[in-house]
């Protein structure tokens, strides 16, 4: 055998798991079907760790935010995703956003250069019968392998719909109407482009979302739900006329300079705002924040060009919709992410029922560490439940009810509660406790270098 672990899937989770195993001295065969002529409904390149939806890893605040705390913990464990993210970083206020092409290139370069990693462009159609394996094929697992997983788990696949936001060419945005500003001037203060709407413009836009032609579902997709954390904008609009104004189009903390007057020298808040975030390091591409959609492409172009400042918008990519698949992990996986009844196979990433780039990467990181511990005969214990990684792992592998299991972003609701702390200081208390207990856990890792 030329490898110690076979990892199937070269996305975020598979790449992170490969890195964690390789840096601990184990040989990895990393199989990725893209590059063989096969692809998925969402991918556009053959690059490892391609970001198919947003280019944001969300908040980088590790003092009061659960995903920022997850960033902190992954950095302490030498996460490849966090390393590459820093090199590919673009301005995004207090969030961590990246140039998606640079990010993918950094991940692939690091793995290609590591002597313990062999990247093989091949499609794997069934679960291996033996040998340490990590399946990290994500929510867009190819049909043949998905069928093999269904056969092994005895469970029908679970699924939800995920959506993709459009990307606009920067030089097609009218900056006589739009302006640069971060909400409440966070970060560098000018990390977003803002397109303002008055009430009439907003109401017309809202109606256009409701009336616009949408993609239709196949019969077998009819009862598939949406993921709440990535809801199509027209679905949000259907929940009420002001839903968007309290969501992705909220105007608070954004001062339109065109409305400056003696009483409001910096300008007043518009009725609603469409924000765009830088998508690449060159600053030539900007994505429409929160504007994931299932509108048909022609309807998107027509409607989004009614947004002030985007009347002549040119789109590098339009929005789309794809069906994601995940396991009922509390039922079919053990606490070490191993398949019950087939313990040589671990699962990692979004297919386990986590949601989000960082969460997927974190589960891949833990799967890599688990496999390394098993190969080395060490006694690896999971991170404390009070940590972001521990809370996420606990949700996937047992805390959630199997009957109602749904994908979840990391959040403080997954953490053991702190009932004796005042609400306004609870987030800081969660992160303080997590960092202390996570640090103690790292110090006690048995035979596995941090």
CATH code: domain of residue 298:
2.40.30.260
Structure tokens at 22: 């390789």
Flag whether 9 is marked binding: yes
Q: How confident is the model at residue 238 (pLDDT cuts 50, 70, 90)?
A: very high
- SS3 for the chain is CCCCEEEECCCHHHHHHHHHHHCCCCCEEEEECECCCECCCCCCCCCCCCCCCCCEEEECCCCCCHHHHHHHHHHHCCCHHHHHHHHCEECCCCEEEECHHHHHHHHHHHHHHCCCEEEEECCCCCCCCCCCEEECCHHHCCHHHHHHHHHHHCCCCEEEEEEECCEEEHHHCCCCCCEECCHHHCCCCCCEEEEEECHHHHHHHHHHHHHCCECCCCHHHCCCCECHHHCCHHHHHCCCCCCHHHCCCCCCCCCEHHHCCCCCCCCECCCEEEEEEECCCCCCEEEECCCCECECHHHHHHHHCCCCCCCCCCEEECCEEEEEEECCHHHHECCCCEECCEEEEEECHHHHCECCHHHHHHHHHHHHHHHHHHHHCCCCCCCCCCCHHHHHHHHHHHHCCHHHCCCECCCHHHCCCCCCCCHHHHHHHHHHHHHHHHHHHHHCCCCCCC
Does 210 have pLDDT greater than 60? yes
Distance in angstroms (rounded) separating the CA atoms of residues 220 and 113: 43
**Domain end marker among 278, 293, 323:** 323
Q: How confident is the model at residue 26 (pLDDT cuts 50, 70, 90)?
A: very high
Q: What is the pLDDT of residue 351?
A: 92
Q: What is the pLDDT of residue 158?
A: 65
Higher model confidence: residue 339 or residue 401? 339
Q: What is the pLDDT of residue 225?
A: 67
Q: How confident is the model at residue 322 (pLDDT cuts 50, 70, 90)?
A: low
For residues 339 and 419, membership in a common domain is answered with: yes
For residues 391 and 307, membership in a common domain is answered with: no
What CATH number is attached to the domain comprising 100? 3.50.50.60
Distance in angstroms (rounded) separating the CA atoms of residues 53 and 287: 10
Flag whether 12 is marked binding: yes
Q: Is 280 within a domain?
A: yes
Q: How do residues 252-311 score in pLDDT, each as one tens digit?
A: 999 999 999 998 989 999 999 999 999 878 888 899 999 989 899 999 999 999 999 999
| pTM (2 d.p.) | 0.74
For residues 132 and 175, membership in a common domain is answered with: no
Is 127 within 8 Å of 345 (Cβ atoms)? yes
For residues 133 and 264, membership in a common domain is answered with: no
Does 449 have pLDDT greater than 50? no
Q: What is the pLDDT of residue 51?
A: 93
Flag whether 208 is marked binding: no
**Domain end marker among 298, 323, 348:** 323
Q: How do residues 33-44 score in pLDDT, each as one tens digit?
A: 988 877 777 677
For residues 135 and 236, membership in a common domain is answered with: no
Does 220 have pLDDT greater than 60? no
For residues 306 and 339, membership in a common domain is answered with: no
Q: What is the mean pLDDT of residues 431-440?
A: 96
Q: How do residues 140-189 score in pLDDT, each as one tens digit?
A: 788 889 889 888 988 766 666 767 789 899 989 999 999 999 999 988 88
Distance in angstroms (rounded) separating the CA atoms of residues 131 and 341: 14
For residues 307 and 339, membership in a common domain is answered with: no
For residues 342 and 386, membership in a common domain is answered with: yes
Q: Which domain holds residue 262?
A: 164-323
**Domain end marker among 323, 351, 385:** 323
Q: Torsion angle of alpha carbons 204, 209, 210, 212, nearest 10°?
A: 110
Average pLDDT, the chain: 90
For residues 289 and 182, membership in a common domain is answered with: yes
For residues 172 and 316, membership in a common domain is answered with: yes
For residues 74 and 10, membership in a common domain is answered with: yes
Q: Is 448 within a domain?
A: no
Q: Is 450 within a domain?
A: no
Does 217 have pLDDT greater than 70? no
Q: Is 449 within a domain?
A: no
Is 269 within 8 Å of 251 (Cβ atoms)? yes
Domain count, the chain: 2
Residues 233-241: contacts with CB under 8 Å, at least 24 apart = 233/209, 233/290, 233/291, 233/292, 233/293, 234/209, 234/210, 234/293, 234/294, 234/295, 235/294, 237/206, 237/209, 237/210, 238/210, 241/203, 241/206
Flag whether 49 is marked binding: no
């Amino acid at each position: 055998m030329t490898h110690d672990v076979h990892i199937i899937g070269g996305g975020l989770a598979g790449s992170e798991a490969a890195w964690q195993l390789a840096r601990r001295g184990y040989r990895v065969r990393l199989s990725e079907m893209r590059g063989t002529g096969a692809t998925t409904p969402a991918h556009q390149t053959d690059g490892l760790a391609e970001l198919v939806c947003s280019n944001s890893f969300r908040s980088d605040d590790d003092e009061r935010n659960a995903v920022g705390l997850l960033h902190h913990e992954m950095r302490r464990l030498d996460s490849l995703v966090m390393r590459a993210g820093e090199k590919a970083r673009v301005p995004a206020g207090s969030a961590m956003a990246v140039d998606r092409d640079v990010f993918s290139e950094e991940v692939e370069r690091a793995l290609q250069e590591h002597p313990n990693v062999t990247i093989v462009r091949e499609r794997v159609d069934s679960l291996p019968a033996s040998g340490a394996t990590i399946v990290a094929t994500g929510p867009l697992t190819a049909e043949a392998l998905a069928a093999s997983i269904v056969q092994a788990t005895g469970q029908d696949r679970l699924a939800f719909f995920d959506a993709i936001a459009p990307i606009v060419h920067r030089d097609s945005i009218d900056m006589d109407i739009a302006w640069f500003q971060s909400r409440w001037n966070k970060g560098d203060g000018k990390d977003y482009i803002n397109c303002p709407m008055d009430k009439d413009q907003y109401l017309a836009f809202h109606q256009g979302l409701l009336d616009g032609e949408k993609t239709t579902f196949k019969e077998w997709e009819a009862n598939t739900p949406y993921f709440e954390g990535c809801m199509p904008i027209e679905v949000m609009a259907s929940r009420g006329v002001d839903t968007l104004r309290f969501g992705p189009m909220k105007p608070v903390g954004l001062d339109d300079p065109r409305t400056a007057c003696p009483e409001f020298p910096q300008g007043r808040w518009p009725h609603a705002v469409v924000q765009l975030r830088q998508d690449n390091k060159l600053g030539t591409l900007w994505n429409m924040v929160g504007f994931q959609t299932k509108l048909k492409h022609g309807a998107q172009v027509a409607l989004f060009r009614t947004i002030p400042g985007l009347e002549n918008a040119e789109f590098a990519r339009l929005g789309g919709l794809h069906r994601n698949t995940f396991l009922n992990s509390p039922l079919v996986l053990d606490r070490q992410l191993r398949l019950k009844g087939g313990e040589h196979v671990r699962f990692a990433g979004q297919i386990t029922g986590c949601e989000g780039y960082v969460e997927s990467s974190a589960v891949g990181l833990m799967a890599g560490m688990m496999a390394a511990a098993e190969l080395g005969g060490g006694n690896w214990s999971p991170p404390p439940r009070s940590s972001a990684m521990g809370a996420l792992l606990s949700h996937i592998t047992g805390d959630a009810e199997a009957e109602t299991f749904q994908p979840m972003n990391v959040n403080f609701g997954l953490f053991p509660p702190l009932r004796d702390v005042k609400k306004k200081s609870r987030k800081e208390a969660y992160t303080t406790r997590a960092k202390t207990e996570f640090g103690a856990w790292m110090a006690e890792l048995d035979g596995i270098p941090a």
